[in-house]
Structure 1
Amino acid sequence: MKAQAVLSIILILVPSLSGFHDTFLLASPNLVTTEEEQIVIGRLGEDVILPCSFESEPEVVIHWKNQDNYVYSYYKDRDYLENQDHRYTNRTSLFHSEIHNGNASLSLRRLSLLDEGIYVCYVGTTSRKIINKVVLKVGAFVTPVMKYEKRNTDSFLICSVLSYPHPLITWKTDNASISESNMEEIESLSPFYVDSMINITGSNLSYECAIENSLLKQTWTGGGTVKDDLHKMQSENFSLSCELTNSIFLLDQDFKVAWSKVEKETSSILAYFLSSSRNTTIYGPRVSWNKERINQTDFSLTLKDLILSDSGEYLCNISSSKYTFLTIQALHVVESKQNHLDNYSVFGFPGNLHILYIKKIQLFQEREVFCPY
């Protein structure tokens, strides 16, 4: 009877060296068996810990498997990785200093989508066997961006995100939901990169794009407004307004503000602000920012001495990791009245011809005065 007990212990502790079979499961039927199942959610490219615990005993055998693939093996106080599946090479480890405390958890590094699946932790000791199942799910959610684009005469707002699984994207205008028929999802070479686009149909409307990753329980919101076109005179100073009315989105978050002029294919940056450093960067001698207003979440930008080439669309982008707000403003700069009179006469002639014409009239009048009848 004693020999039979010893044989049971040996079968528990020493798996077959030829195939790493789970021979510790052949232990005496009198041993206590416990089974658990947990769900673990990891992020693509990051590390994760697959939990497994047991009541500590001096001798222990640990196997981690994914389906029929060996992920990790440990017994006789050392690792045995000869039969480890190549996908896990240099990506796994146990917490060796914690094994004597009953910790058989597995660290899995640099997660890929192929790592998803059911992992089984087998632990054998002299008195029990433990089977822990861990369901690993891998998600991805890279901070989305909201973009404004001009295509010919049409204007669009686009929300872009890299997400796995496929995110839920909803649009609203003036707090009213936009039907899916008015949205367009743009195809991408990457199966996890999603572009959702709507056509802007009017000014002074508010738009909202909400993106949710259900697996990671992560959400992001983008907002935008297109203001009425403005007409200003040449040489004026003018303030482009940009104010975040719902500043709660920026509480306890680092955010940035960027002003740019929207061109046909590219945009030129005019000013930049980082909340973390409170630094403002200005590009151009005629651009200025009121720092006192910035501290009050008013990011209006002033353009000095307007010139005709200042005409165009201006974009203010306020963004953090959880929120983005765009303000689009079209500016039309027209010639001042003084410049208009200098360049064009009431007769429709350019200014220099008009002056010559006036001089001829004056000369004719002088001759008319001094010529005898």
Structure 2
Amino acid sequence: MKAQAVLSIILILVPSLSGFHDTFLLASPSLVTEEEQIVIGRLGEDIILPCSFESEPEVVIHWKNQDKYAYSYYKDRDYLENQDHKYTNRTSLFHSEIHNGNASLSLRRLSLLDEGIYVCYVGTTSRKIINKVVLKVGVFVTPVMKYEKRNIDSFLICSVLSYPHPLITWKTDNTSISESNMGEIESLDPFYVYSMINITGSNLSYECAIENSLLKQTWTGGWTMKDDLHKMQSENFSLSCALTNSIFLLDQDFIVTWYNMEKETSSILAFFLSSSRNATIYEPRVSWNKEQINQSDFSLTLKDLSLSDSGKYLCNISSSKYTFLTIQTLRVVEQSQSRTAWIIILPLVILGFLAIGIFCMLKRHNCSRRGRYLRENMSSVPGCTGRGVSRMTSS
């Protein structure tokens, strides 16, 4: 909508610009004031502040932010002598489009100091245009979700560089976590925000959502902890990592990174870049199945396990809109432990058999001595014969 006021004659005052008139007089039957527009830009990017008019041969264009000149144009040329220094080499008009009624201003490399109300003054021989543009600048650098171990406690941390201040929410198994259980930590940078929760001893799934209301941009971080696994030394083992909802991968570039989480540091085992479909392996015993990757399954195979492979393994799947972390604890058991048990048991078994054998031999020897004694002594007894004694001893 346009609010239009009609004036019989209007005098457009133009501040002194070196080498030109102090005033610029235009006879005009009308004044047109455009409705205020809101333009949202991103820090470090370029933006166009819109301004249009009905083209005429002679035109004067001024862009101002409060009392600071951003750009001036008249008599078919630029006049930048009064331009504020913060706009130097950052502003321009679309000169080839001015005759078509385009007085828009291009503003490059936005900073937060560029925020404010910009006024576009356009004067022609028949009218004067006043167009207000409210410029808002937002910041939303891709957030990060990370897992930290501090002594015996475990934490999940979501952090972001954002302006204005973002909304951060946590869920566990689709149940909202109250703000009293979240910790938001201040930093020296007023736009750097991070929130953390204590997950010590928990095997639940967690979700962190961050929203920048100005840029209407959201990001989601997910966390899953797998059950501990026990494997034998020298075996091969598959560390699982898959997106159950592959819709997150559609039309987005993403990176998959596998980490070996040591006590205080972490080392990269492998990573996959979706844009190039390249997989890079840093550990010679690690392998990836390309067919599984094509099905959004990023499980990693670790060959010939050793005792030093015991520990936590983290899979990180990240894009500009999400991060999903999966952590798994692997415990490698030494095969020689079972052999050691047999080494201890087997001698005992052998000793047992030897003891039984010796016992039987001694028992047989005693029986033989007893038989000879009876034969020698019973033969002198009347009525006893050697045959009878032999029968007795054998019994």
TM-score, shorter chain, exceeding 0.5: yes
8 Å CA contact 2:10, 2:26 repeated in 1: no
8 Å CA contact 1:12, 1:125 repeated in 2: no
Measured against aligned partners, the alpha-carbon deviations of 1:239-263 in whole angstroms (never above 9, x if no partner) come to: 1111111111111111111111112
Q: C-alpha displacement at 1:110, in angstroms? A: 0.7
Q: C-alpha displacement at 1:57, in angstroms? A: 0.4
The answer as to 2:133 corresponding to 1:131 is no
Cα distance between partner residues in 1 of 2:18 and 2:314:
67
Q: C-alpha displacement at 1:197, in angstroms? A: 1.1
The range that moved more, 216-225 or 294-303, is 294-303
Measured against aligned partners, the alpha-carbon deviations of 1:118-157 in whole angstroms (never above 9, x if no partner) come to: 0000111111000000000000111111111111111111
8 Å CA contact 2:260, 2:268 repeated in 1: yes
Structure 1's consecutive aligned runs of 4 or more residues displaced over 3 angstroms after TM superposition are 1-32, 201-204, 337-340, 346-349
Q: C-alpha displacement at 1:348, in angstroms? A: 18
Q: Taking structure 1 as reference, are residues 128 and 40 closer, same or farther at Cα in structure 2, changes over 3 Å only?
A: same
Q: Taking structure 1 as reference, are residues 20 and 259 closer, same or farther at Cα in structure 2, changes over 3 Å only?
A: farther
Q: C-alpha displacement at 1:189, in angstroms? A: 2.1
Q: C-alpha displacement at 1:290, in angstroms? A: 1.7
Q: C-alpha displacement at 1:186, in angstroms? A: 2.2
Cα distance between partner residues in 2 of 1:132 and 1:333:
71
Cα distance between partner residues in 2 of 1:12 and 1:251:
55
SS in 1 for 2:5: helix
Percent identity of equivalent pairs: 90
The range that moved more, 193-202 or 166-175, is 193-202
The range that moved more, 108-117 or 278-287, is 278-287
8 Å CA contact 1:203, 1:227 repeated in 2: no
8 Å CA contact 1:13, 1:61 repeated in 2: no
Give the TM-score taking structure 1 as reference length: 0.84
Q: Taking structure 1 as reference, are residues 2 and 148 closer, same or farther at Cα in structure 2, changes over 3 Å only?
A: closer
Cα distance between partner residues in 1 of 2:294 and 2:116:
49
The range that moved more, 41-50 or 258-267, is 258-267
8 Å CA contact 1:157, 1:197 repeated in 2: yes
The range that moved more, 52-61 or 18-27, is 18-27
Q: Taking structure 1 as reference, are residues 100 and 311 closer, same or farther at Cα in structure 2, changes over 3 Å only?
A: same
SS in 2 for 1:348: helix
Q: C-alpha displacement at 1:175, in angstroms? A: 0.3
Q: C-alpha displacement at 1:21, in angstroms? A: 9.7
The range that moved more, 135-144 or 267-276, is 267-276
SS in 2 for 1:347: helix
8 Å CA contact 1:14, 1:75 repeated in 2: no
Q: Taking structure 1 as reference, are residues 287 and 66 closer, same or farther at Cα in structure 2, changes over 3 Å only?
A: same
Q: C-alpha displacement at 1:89, in angstroms? A: 1.0
Q: Taking structure 1 as reference, are residues 84 and 236 closer, same or farther at Cα in structure 2, changes over 3 Å only?
A: same
Larger radius of gyration: 2
8 Å CA contact 1:12, 1:26 repeated in 2: yes
Cα distance between partner residues in 2 of 1:92 and 1:168:
33
The range that moved more, 263-272 or 86-95, is 263-272
Cα distance between partner residues in 2 of 1:313 and 1:43:
39
User: Who is 2:20 aligned against?
Assistant: 20
Cα distance between partner residues in 2 of 1:188 and 1:3:
46
Q: C-alpha displacement at 1:238, in angstroms? A: 1.4
Cα distance between partner residues in 2 of 1:2 and 1:336:
83
Give the TM-score taking structure 2 as reference length: 0.79
Q: Taking structure 1 as reference, are residues 333 and 122 closer, same or farther at Cα in structure 2, changes over 3 Å only?
A: same
**Count of aligned pairs:** 343
Cα distance between partner residues in 2 of 1:187 and 1:87:
30
The range that moved more, 97-106 or 329-338, is 329-338
List runs of 5+ in structure 1 lacking aligned partners. Answer: 341-345, 350-373
SS in 2 for 1:19: coil
Q: C-alpha displacement at 1:204, in angstroms? A: 3.7
SS in 2 for 1:7: coil
How do 1:300-319 residues align onto structure 2 when only pairs under 5 Å count? 300-319=299-318
The range that moved more, 312-321 or 195-204, is 195-204
Cα distance between partner residues in 2 of 1:327 and 1:3:
58
8 Å CA contact 2:7, 2:29 repeated in 1: no
Cα distance between partner residues in 2 of 1:4 and 1:146:
52
8 Å CA contact 1:12, 1:27 repeated in 2: no
Cα distance between partner residues in 2 of 1:46 and 1:239:
44
Q: Taking structure 1 as reference, are residues 290 and 204 closer, same or farther at Cα in structure 2, changes over 3 Å only?
A: farther
User: Who is 2:206 aligned against?
Assistant: 207
Q: C-alpha displacement at 1:10, in angstroms? A: 11
Measured against aligned partners, the alpha-carbon deviations of 1:155-206 in whole angstroms (never above 9, x if no partner) come to: 1111111111111111100000011111112222211111111111444421
Q: Taking structure 1 as reference, are residues 98 and 201 closer, same or farther at Cα in structure 2, changes over 3 Å only?
A: same
Cα distance between partner residues in 2 of 1:243 and 1:153:
28
Q: Taking structure 1 as reference, are residues 61 and 237 closer, same or farther at Cα in structure 2, changes over 3 Å only?
A: same
| Coordinate RMSD, CA, aligned | 4.6
Measured against aligned partners, the alpha-carbon deviations of 1:283-324 in whole angstroms (never above 9, x if no partner) come to: 222212222211111111111221111111100011111111
Q: C-alpha displacement at 1:109, in angstroms? A: 0.7
The range that moved more, 224-233 or 321-330, is 224-233
The answer as to 2:9 corresponding to 1:5 is no
Measured against aligned partners, the alpha-carbon deviations of 1:215-258 in whole angstroms (never above 9, x if no partner) come to: 00111111011122222222222111111111111111111111
Cα distance between partner residues in 2 of 1:2 and 1:110:
31
SS in 1 for 2:155: strand
Cα distance between partner residues in 1 of 2:2 and 2:208:
72
8 Å CA contact 1:156, 1:200 repeated in 2: yes
Q: Taking structure 1 as reference, are residues 131 and 30 closer, same or farther at Cα in structure 2, changes over 3 Å only?
A: closer
Cα distance between partner residues in 2 of 1:175 and 1:268:
32
